[in-house]
Amino acid sequence: MSTTAIQTATVPAWVFGAKGMLAGELLRLLDLHPALELKGAVSRSEQSVVSAHPHLVTRAKTSNHDEALAALASALAGGGKAVVFLALPHGESAALWAKLSNELGALTENLYVVDLAADFRLASPARYQQAYGHPHPAPQELARFTYGLVELDRAAVVGAKRVAAPGCFATALQLACVPAAEARLLDTSRPWILNGITGSSGSGVEPKPGTHHPWRHANMWAYSLDGHRHEAELAQALERCGAVPPIHFVAHSGPMARGIHMTAALPLARKVTTAEVHAIYAARFAGATFVEVLEGKVPDLRSISASNRAQLAVSVRGDVLNVLCTLDNMTKGGAGQALQCANLMLGFPEHWGLPRAGLGVN
């Protein structure tokens, strides 16, 4: 299909959970998209889109579920396509998807769904229960969703109808670890030590003591010391490489609003040089639109802030491989990743609507 043909065939889009912080980022990105036409921002609140997200300039109005359902059914009638983004809190996407599936029936055949929450990321119901502390609400639906980390499994996302966008920390963890695991560079009998720092936007839109600015400013602390739920997504990916190592990931809340800085200290199984590891990572992400493997410098947050780009750097010290990764938790770790998946699902150029340049100053 030519670019001109794609541009003339717009696809209607709906965002459910429009009041949330990731939804605000997604709505910002959709405003730049040449082929996705925002038809509805669905929220249980009657608050307008611009009132909820004052940084936006949009004509989209907040609609309720019934209004969105009627519009979706009309768009899908006669074989038309539509895309739905589920930007809901963890645990709510599965229930909403079950409701939409029941209400739309056979019309869901042409409906593309991207879930930004955790409900469909883990293929195993048992792993989900271990990570989230309760049984999966719709285990029969797990096999219908594809895990959407494009840089590691592009073929699965292209043309998929249901995609679960990976978590923010999980994206950084996998980009940092999987290439070395695939290359059989790492010792799986020793702990893999991982430390990640995230901005306050990772806590969502609702105010909490830990996101209150006077407390967050010039401060940093660790949390989830007994294990972070995004470790499960890394473990799932590593199993595909035949690796089942002890994973020790410690998450930290940092003094910035957006961004993730990940440091991975990975035990090597054999002697290897920094240059050799750099070549492995560069080859693994060759052609990846949104991953940059640096040489001779380290990643930083300002370079990737508000972009869909991730930066990586590697270095070998003795028998340990150090991998650094930075990405924006709101964009590549959230809304941008969801839009990147939608582009490939619908046959659009992967970069449409997605910024590759960071802000530089933030």
Helical (H) or strand (E) element with 62:
strand 62-63
Same domain? For 242 and 188 the reply is yes
The question of whether 168 is a catalytic residue gets the answer yes
**Complete DSSP assignment for 291-342:** EEE-SSS---HHHHTTSS-EEEEEEEETTEEEEEEEE-TTIIIIIHHHHHHH
Q: Do 39 and 80 belong together in one domain?
A: yes
Per-residue model confidence as pLDDT tens digits over 104-153: 999 999 999 999 999 999 999 999 999 998 899 999 999 999 999 999 99
The verdict on residue 352 lying in a domain is: no
pLDDT for 51: 67
User: Per the structure, how many domains does the chain have?
Assistant: 2
What pLDDT is attached to residue 115? 97
Pair (60, 18) in one structural domain:
yes
Q: Rounded to whole angstroms, how far apart are CA atoms 174 and 184?
A: 15
Instruction: State how beta strands 310-317 and 320-327 pair.
Output: antiparallel
- Helix (H), strand (E) at residue 251: strand 247-253
Same domain as 175, residue 157: no
8-39 pLDDT, tens digit per residue, is: 579 999 999 988 889 999 999 999 899 999 99
User: Distance between CA 14 and CA 18 in Å, rounded?
Assistant: 9
**Degrees (nearest 5) of the Cα angle 202, 132, 28?**
30
Domain-located, residue 212? yes
Whether pLDDT at 203 is above 80: no
Residue 58 sits in which domain range? Answer: 3-166+332-346
Q: Are residues 186 and 311 in the same domain?
A: yes
Asked whether residue 210 carries a pLDDT value surpassing 90, the answer given is: no
139-160 burial, b if ≥16 CB within 10 A, otherwise e? eebbeebbbbbbbbeeeebbeb
Average of per-residue pLDDT across 69-90:
93
Whether residue 358 lies inside any domain: the answer is no
Residues 107 and 198 in one domain: no
CB 311 within 8 A of CB 292: yes
214, part of any domain? yes
> Domain for residue 360, yes or no?
no
* 213 and 149 in a common domain: no
Report the amino acid identity of residue 26. Answer: L
- Domain check: are 29 and 159 in the same one? yes
In a domain, 33, yes or no: yes
The active-site residue, picked from 168, 177, 325, 341, is: 168
Q: What is the CA radius of gyration of the chain?
A: 20
The pLDDT value given to residue 282: 98
Nearest to 325 by CA among 275, 247, 266, 238: 266
- CATH number for position 190: 3.30.360.10
Q: Are residues 95 and 212 in the same domain?
A: no
State residue 62's pLDDT score: 73
Q: Are residues 175 and 305 in the same domain?
A: yes
pLDDT at residue number 36: 97
Same domain for 145 and 71: yes
Asked if 105 and 225 sit in the same domain, the reply is no
CATH code, domain with 106: 3.40.50.720
DSSP notation for 130-144: HHHSS--S-GGGGGG
Does residue 202 have a pLDDT over 60? no
Q: 2 pLDDT exceeds 70?
A: no
Helix (H) or strand (E) holding 38: strand 36-42
How confident is the model over 231-244, as a mean pLDDT?
96
- Does 361 fall in a domain? no
Q: Read off the pLDDT of residues 272-320 as tens digits, 9 standing for 90 and up.
A: 999 999 999 999 999 999 999 999 999 999 999 999 999 999 999 999 9
* pLDDT over 80 at 45, yes or no: no
Q: What is the pLDDT of residue 1?
A: 45
